[in-house]
Amino acid sequence: MIKRLTIFGYGIFSYAVFFATFLYAIGFIGDFGVAKTIDGAPQMPLAGALLINVALLGLFAIQHSVMARPAFKRRWTRIVPAEAERSTYVLFSSLALIVLFAGWHPLGGVVWSVSNPVATAALYAAYAFGWGLVLVSTFLINHFDLFGLRQVWLQLRGREYTPLKFTTPGIYKLVRHPLYTGWLFAFWATPHMTVTHLVFAAISTAYILAAIQFEERDLAEFHPQYKAYKRKVPMLFPSLRRRANRSAIAA
């Protein structure tokens, strides 16, 4: 029973670290309300700061992708209990982000700056929409399984873990990866786009597009119906052409 309680406590701790990191990220990328944000006065030469920032983003990308691969999980669970594997992934991802926040260096420079109050409000609304979409998307597919809480709760009760079935609830009928769509809104919707922010958004977007390829390969391997789903549903944004065709057929 002590082992079960320890694993459960570890899962709760990992989730708490994630949630605090998630909240901090909202302020960090949005440039408000936290001790250190994505923008600010440059503290070192451009080349050095850029190199550090790219390395920090690369560290997160490598950790986030490598630890998510099935082959790594099979080896990793020889070291950590299988029930705590997801919580460990969540914890390491959060720590990688914390390192990024702490080591980030502003670059200076302005790409665009919106002064119109209506346009500014619209961009902030799009930013909030992005974060909201990220959170809602996790609950649609099972937030507690995604962040390891379901796994540690089941082991606490002495029940065997059963993988989630493939489903397409809500917005997943319109796009295959609404969670990533939400991230793109969060990265790009800003009235003050600096060079620093642009570097962050561009590299993060490139990582998302690459990560989707690996993720979809794994999904197709574990869920035979995913290939048909992939053919029918767009990746990140709803298809206006398909909606127009459906409307024409209905008429």
User: CA 163 to CA 216: how far, in whole Å?
Assistant: 17
Q: What percent of the chain has pLDDT above 70? A: 95
Residue-wise pLDDT for 147-180, tens only, equals: 999 999 999 999 999 988 999 999 999 999 999 9
Strands 192-194 and 110-113: antiparallel
pLDDT of 250 reads: 35
pLDDT of 245 reads: 46
Q: Please give the average per-residue pLDDT across 66-93, as a whole number.
A: 92
CA neighbor of 19 nearest in space, from 87, 82, 77, 66: 87
Phi-psi region of 112 (alpha: psi -120 to 50; beta: other; left: phi over 0): beta
